[in-house]
C-alpha cells in the first residue's frame, strides 16, 4: 500500500494532465492512485465480492449464490423484507433467498445484495463535514429513478440501471473519504453546491481529474462488470458513452437528474427533465408525469428499507403542483413582460410619430398616413379630404414676444385642431407654423365645412402666455379633396393642391378658407 502523498510530492515521471490553458499542470493519475490506494478507503464488502465472482462465472450456481447471501443474516433479512415490500408488489410472500431468486431472478437479488452491502459499508463518520446520509439519499433517488426510467423505456437492464444509479457518484464518496480534508475536496463540494457541471469543472481545475474518472477506476478495481462501470464514467456526459451502453447510461443520467428535482427544490426544472425524457426515450407528457410520481413513491419505500430518511422530501404530486404554479407564474410574468414590452414599443412608436412640441403627428407620420389613405380611396372609389393651414403673421409673434411665446401659440393651435377634428382624421405638424389634416371619407364640401369650423374655433380661442400677455391668432386654410375620379393620381398632388389653396387664402386677406377646385374658380367656403 503506497503512503499518502501531497500534490507537490509527485514523481517526475508520473502521468500529467495539462489544463488551464497550459499555465498549470496537475497530476491526474497521481490523484487517482492516491484515492484508490489510500488505506482510509473502505473496500467492497466481502459478501458483495463473492456475489460478483459467482455471477461472473459461465456456469452460475444459483444455489451457491443463495447460500452465500444467506450466510449474512442481516443482509438476507433486508433483501427478504424488500422483496416482500410494495416496491416489488409480489402476490405471494417470499421466505428464503432461494425463493427470491426463483421469483425475482438473479439480477434483482444481486442488485439488492450489492446495494445493501455498499450502503451499509459506507455510512461515513457522524463528525464528518460531509453528510454521507444525504449523499446516499441522492444516490437512492438516482437509482430508483434510473430503474424506473429503464423499465418505462423497455430496457432489459433495469436492475443494472438501479446499481448504476446507486454507484454513479462513487467517485465523490471515494474522494471525500481519502482527500476530503487533506486536499480540500469537501470544500470544493461546498463551493459547487448542487451544480454537478461546476463540480466537475472545479475538480478538473484543482486535481486534473473528476469524480467520474475516479469512480470508474474504483469500480474496475472492485471488478464490477463493464455495464456498471459505464454509467459511473459517463452519466454526467451521456453523449460520450459507447453506443452499446448509451441507453442505460442515459437512464442513469436522467435518474441522477430526477434526484435533483426532489432534492434541489425550488430550483427544479421539470420542463427540462421532461424534454430530455421525450428526446431520449420518446415518452409523452403523461408518461413523464406518471414516471416522476413512481420515482417519488418508490424511492420513499426503498429508503425505509435502506434506513435512509426521506420523509421530509415532498412527493411528486406536490412537486408537479409547485412546478405548474411556477410555470403559471412565469407565464403571467412573461405575459406581463410582453404586454409591458408591447406598451413600451407602442409608446416609442408613438413618440417617433409625434411632434415633440405640439403633440400632433409629425411629418413622417403624415406622409405614411396620407399615402395609405390615398391608395385605399383609389381602390374603394371613396373620398379623401386634406386641409392645410398656416398661422397668420406668426413671425411677428416670435419677433415681438420671443420664441417661447411662439411655441405657446403652436401648442394651443395644435390642441384646438385636435379637439375640433377628434377622431375624424389625422392632425399633423407639417413644418414650422404649418399644419395638415387628413380626413378619410371627406369630400370637398365636408372638408371645407370642417375647415371653416376650425378657423372660427382658432379665432375665438385666446392664448394665455403669461399673467401679462394673452395672444390672439388667426389661420389661413386650404382645402383639397380626392373623390376617386378627379385628376389626382398621387397623394403628393393632393397635398400640393391643398397647399396652393392656403396661398390663395393668404392672398385673399388671411383668416379665411379657400378650396382647390380643378375645373372651377376657387371660392370662399360657406
- Please write the tens of the pLDDT for every residue from 70-102: 888 888 888 888 888 888 888 888 889 888 888
Q: Give the up-direction half-sphere exposure of residue 24: CA atoms within 13 A in the CB hemisphere.
A: 11
Q: What is the pTM of this model?
A: 0.58
3-state secondary structure of 26: strand
Answer yes or no: same fold for 124-313 and 363-515.
no
How far apart CA 418 and CA 167 sit, in angstroms, is 77
Res. 51: pLDDT tops 90:
no
Architecture of domain 124-313: Orthogonal Bundle (1.10)
Mean pLDDT computed over every residue of the chain = 83
Dihedral angle of Cα 357, 361, 365, 366, to the nearest 10 degrees:
-120
pLDDT at 50: 85
How many other C-beta atoms can be found within 10 angstroms of the C-beta atom of residue 6?
A: 11
Q: Which residue has the higher pLDDT, 407 or 305?
A: 407
Res. 267: pLDDT tops 80:
no
Q: Which of the residue ranges 260-274, 315-329, 436-450, 479-493 has the most confident prediction, judged by mean pLDDT?
A: 436-450
Closest CA to 354 of 449, 418, 280: 418
pLDDT at 180: 85
Res. 119: pLDDT tops 90:
no
pLDDT at 147: 92
How far apart CA 279 and CA 89 sit, in angstroms, is 30
pLDDT at 467: 77
52, containing H or E segment:
helix 46-56
The answer to whether 274 and 285 are in contact (CB under 8 A) is yes
Backbone angles phi, psi at 379, to 5 degrees: -70, -40
pLDDT at 225: 86
> With helix as H, strand as E and coil as C, how does 349-360 read?
HHHHHECCCCCC
The fraction of the chain above a pLDDT of 70, given in percent, is 85
pLDDT at 131: 83
> 439 forms bridges with which residues in the sheet?
385
The fraction of the chain above a pLDDT of 90, given in percent, is 36
State pLDDT tens for residues 488-523: 889 999 999 999 999 999 999 999 999 998 765 444
Closest CA to 132 of 258, 268, 306, 319: 306
Res. 205: pLDDT tops 80:
yes
How many other C-beta atoms can be found within 10 angstroms of the C-beta atom of residue 449?
A: 15
Classify the phi-psi angles of 507: left when phi > 0, otherwise alpha if psi is within -120 to 50, otherwise beta: alpha
Q: Give the up-direction half-sphere exposure of residue 46: CA atoms within 13 A in the CB hemisphere.
A: 3
375-381: long-range pairs with CB below 8 Å, 24+: 376/440, 377/440, 377/482, 377/484, 378/482, 378/484, 380/484, 381/484, 381/485
Distance of CA 403 to the CA centre of its chain: 54
Res. 421: pLDDT tops 80:
yes
Alpha-carbon distance values, 240 to 154, 205, 243, 298 (Å): 22, 21, 9, 30
The answer to whether 180 and 207 are in contact (CB under 8 A) is no
The answer to whether 96 and 66 are in contact (CB under 8 A) is yes
pLDDT at 61: 81
Buried b / exposed e over 464-502, threshold 16 CB at 10 Å, is ebeeeeebebebbbbbbbbeeebebeebeebbbbbbbbb
The answer to whether 498 and 479 are in contact (CB under 8 A) is yes
Q: Which residue has the higher pLDDT, 294 or 119?
A: 294
Q: Cα dihedral sign for 515, 517, 520, 526?
A: negative
- Peptide bond preceding 266: is omega within 30 degrees of 0, i.e. cis? yes
Ordered by start, the domain boundaries in the chain are 124-313, 319-353, 363-515
How far apart CA 134 and CA 131 sit, in angstroms, is 5
Q: List alpha helices for 224-315, DSSP H.
A: 226-234, 246-263, 270-281, 285-305
pLDDT at 317: 58
pLDDT at 285: 87
How far apart CA 138 and CA 259 sit, in angstroms, is 6
420: cell is 375640433
State pLDDT tens for residues 211-238: 999 999 988 988 888 888 999 999 999 9
1: cell is 500500500
Res. 363: pLDDT tops 60:
yes
Backbone angles phi, psi at 358, to 5 degrees: -95, -20
Instruction: Quickly tell me which residue has 416670435 as its cell.
Output: 398
Angle at 75 between CA 145 and CA 311, to 5 degrees: 45
**Strand-pair category, 426-431 with 384-391:** unpaired
Q: Which residue has the higher pLDDT, 502 or 340?
A: 502
49 burial via Cβ count (<10 Å: 0-12, 13-18, 19+): middle
Can you tell me the mean pLDDT for 264-285? 82
Instruction: Among 3.40.50.1460, 3.30.360.10, 3.30.70.270, 2.40.110.10, name the CATH number for the domain at 363-515.
Output: 3.30.70.270
Alpha-carbon distance values, 42 to 143, 338, 459 (Å): 21, 57, 101
The answer to whether 391 and 475 are in contact (CB under 8 A) is yes
State pLDDT tens for residues 455-488: 999 999 999 888 788 899 999 999 999 987 667 8
The answer to whether 79 and 113 are in contact (CB under 8 A) is yes
pLDDT at 524: 52
392: cell is 397668420
3-state secondary structure of 466: strand
Amino acid at each position: 500500500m503506497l503512503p499518502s502523498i501531497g500534490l507537490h510530492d509527485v514523481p517526475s515521471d508520473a502521468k500529467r494532465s495539462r489544463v488551464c490553458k497550459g499555465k498549470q499542470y496537475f497530476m491526474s493519475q497521481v490523484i487517482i492512485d492516491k484515492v484508490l490506494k489510500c488505506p482510509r478507503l473502505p473496500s467492497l464488502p466481502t459478501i458483495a465480492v463473492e456475489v460478483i465472482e459467482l455471477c461472473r462465472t459461465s456456469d452460475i450456481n444459483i444455489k451457491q449464490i443463495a447460500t452465500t447471501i444467506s450466510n449474512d443474516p442481516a443482509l438476507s433479512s433486508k433483501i427478504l423484507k424488500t422483496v416482500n415490500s410494495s416496491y416489488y408488489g409480489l402476490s405471494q410472500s417470499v421466505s428464503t433467498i432461494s425463493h427470491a431468486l426463483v421469483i425475482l431472478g438473479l439480477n434483482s437479488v444481486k442488485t439488492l445484495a450489492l446495494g445493501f452491502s455498499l450502503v451499509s459499508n459506507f455510512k461515513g463518520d457522524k463528525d464528518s463535514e460531509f453528510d454521507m446520509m444525504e449523499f446516499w439519499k441522492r444516490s437512492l433517488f438516482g437509482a430508483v429513478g434510473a430503474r424506473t426510467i429503464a423499465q418505462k423505456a423497455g430496457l432489459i437492464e433495469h436492475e443494472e440501471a438501479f446499481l448504476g444509479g446507486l454507484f454513479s457518484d462513487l467517485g465523490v464518496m471515494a474522494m471525500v473519504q481519502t482527500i476530503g480534508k487533506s486536499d480540500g475536496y469537501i470544500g470544493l463540494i461546498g463551493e459547487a453546491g448542487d451544480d454537478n457541471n461546476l463540480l466537475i469543472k472545479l475538480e478538473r481545475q484543482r486535481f486534473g481529474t473528476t469524480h467520474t474518472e475516479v469512480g470508474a477506476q474504483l469500480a474496475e478495481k472492485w471488478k464490477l462488470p463493464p455495464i456498471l462501470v459505464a454509467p459511473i464514467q459517463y452519466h454526467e456526459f451521456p453523449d460520450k458513452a459507447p453506443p452499446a451502453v448509451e441507453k442505460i447510461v442515459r437512464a442513469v443520467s436522467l435518474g441522477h437528474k430526477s434526484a435533483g428535482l426532489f432534492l434541489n427544490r425550488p430550483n427544479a426544472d421539470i420542463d427540462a427533465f421532461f424534454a430530455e425524457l421525450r428526446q431520449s426515450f420518446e415518452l409523452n407528457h403523461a408518461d413523464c408525469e406518471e414516471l416522476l410520481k413512481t420515482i417519488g413513491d418508490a424511492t420513499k419505500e426503498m429508503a425505509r428499507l435502506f434506513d435512509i430518511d426521506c420523509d421530509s422530501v415532498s412527493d411528486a404530486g406536490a412537486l408537479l403542483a409547485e412546478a405548474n404554479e411556477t410555470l403559471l407564474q412565469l407565464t403571467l410574468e412573461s405575459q406581463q413582460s410582453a404586454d409591458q414590452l408591447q406598451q413600451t414599443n407602442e409608446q416609442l412608436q408613438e413618440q417617433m410619430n409625434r411632434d415633440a412640441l405640439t403633440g400632433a403627428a409629425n411629418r413622417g407620420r403624415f406622409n405614411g398616413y396620407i399615402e395609405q389613405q390615398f391608395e385605399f380611396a383609389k381602390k374603394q372609389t371613396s373620398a379623401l379630404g386634406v386641409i392645410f393651414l398656416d398661422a397668420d403673421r406668426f413671425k411677428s409673434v416670435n419677433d415681438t414676444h420671443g420664441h417661447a411665446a411662439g411655441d405657446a401659440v403652436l401648442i394651443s393651435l395644435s390642441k384646438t385642431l385636435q379637439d375640433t377634428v377628434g377622431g375624424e382624421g389625422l392632425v399633423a405638424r407639417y413644418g414650422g407654423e404649418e399644419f395638415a389634416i387628413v380626413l378619410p371619407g371627406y369630400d370637398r364640401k365636408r372638408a371645407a365645412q370642417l375647415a371653416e369650423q376650425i378657423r372660427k374655433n382658432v379665432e375665438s380661442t385666446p392664448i394665455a402666455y403669461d399673467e401679462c400677455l394673452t395672444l390672439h391668432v388667426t389661420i389661413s386654410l386650404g382645402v383639397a379633396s380626392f373623390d376617386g375620379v378627379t385628376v389626382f393620381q398621387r397623394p403628393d398632388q393632393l397635398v400640393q393642391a391643398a397647399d396652393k389653396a392656403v396661398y390663395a387664402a393668404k392672398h385673399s386677406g388671411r383668416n379665411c378658407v379657400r378650396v382647390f377646385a380643378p375645373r372651377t374658380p376657387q371660392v370662399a367656403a360657406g
